[in-house]
Amino acid sequence: MAVARPIRMLAAACILIVIFLVFQMNKEPSYVGTESGPYEGMKYDPLKEPTGEPEGYLWRAEDHDYAPDSANSARTKAAIISLVRNEELNELIPTIRDLERTWNHKFNYPWIFFNDKPFTEEFKKRTQAEIKAKCIYEQIPTEHWGVPDWIDMDLFRESTQLLKEKGLQYADMISYHQMCRWNSGMFYKHPALENYRYYWRVEPKVQFFCDVDYDVFRYVEDRNITYGFTINLFDAPESIPNLWPTTQEFLAANPSYLSNNNMMGWLTDDKLRPEHTHDANGYSTCHFWSNFEIGDMDFFRGDQYSAYFDYLDRAGGFFYERWGDAPVHSIGVGLFADSAKVHWFRDIGYRHIPYFNCPNSPKCSGCTPGKFFAGESWLAKEDCRPSYFKHVGTH
User: Do 131 and 112 contact (CB within 8 A), yes or no?
Assistant: no
Give the active site residue among 293, 321, 376, 382.
293
Instruction: Look at the chain and count its residues.
Output: 395
Q: Which amino acid is at 258?
A: L
Q: Alpha-carbon distance 209 to 349, whole Å?
A: 5
First to last CA, the chain: 57
User: Do 329 and 206 contact (CB within 8 A), yes or no?
Assistant: no
Q: Which amino acid is at 208?
A: F
Does residue 245 have a cis bond before it (omega within 30 degrees)? no
E strand map for the chain? 78-83, 111-115, 135-139, 198-201, 207-208, 227-229, 232-234, 286-288, 293-296, 342-344, 350-352, 355-357
Query: Of the candidates 151, 213, 193, which has an alpha carbon nearest to the alpha carbon of residue 295?
Result: 193
What one-character DSSP code corresponds to residue 1? -
What one-character DSSP code corresponds to residue 333? H
Pairing type for strands 111-115 and 78-83 reads parallel
Q: Alpha-carbon distance 121 to 124, whole Å?
A: 5
Residue 293 annotated as catalytic:
yes
E strand map for 245-362? 286-288, 293-296, 342-344, 350-352, 355-357
Q: Which residues are catalytic?
A: 293
